[in-house]
Amino acid sequence: MTNIFFYDTEIGRLGIAEGGGAITNLYLSGDAVPADAVVCETELLREAGEQLLSYFSGGRRNFTIPLSPDGTQFMQSVWMELRKIPYGQTRSYQEVARRMGNKDASRAVGQACKRNPIPIFIHCHRVIGADGRTTGYRGGIHIKTRLLELEKRDGDLRVRRA
């Protein structure tokens, strides 16, 4: 069974879903939510919501809730690498691929970012183009830009290019 609860944030209404004792999805405004999900604020969803709201207010830089995104082994590897990108920093798709040991996999890294079911908690917004430009984001470039600006307001955003 999947439980979901919705939280109003500065980037819109976000739905956080959990199953099996871990967060499985974060639904951005406009995302389709599973029809069979039960709207219920569990203890885990309450904690995830509090951490998310604290992140938006500048009070939290790291998330400490259990995450269980569904994806291929390669996607899981990418998402683990994304979680290592520190708050306020960015990496290029190419650099993420290189850190994973496959410098030619930048497009595949981009596809894994696109399919990230738990954005924000898994930091795909911190991945940018090799030229430093803000590139695609499931919720739209305006949301990715807003998230990067939010992290920048707490200090200088250090852009690291490959």
Query: Does residue 124 have an active-site annotation?
Result: yes
Q: Which two tokens stand for residue 92?
A: 């290029």
Q: Which residue in this structure is represented by tokens 């082994």? A: 73
Options 52, 120, 122, 124, the catalytic residue: 124
Q: Are 55 and 7 in contact (CB under 8 A)?
A: no
Residues labelled as active-site residues = 124
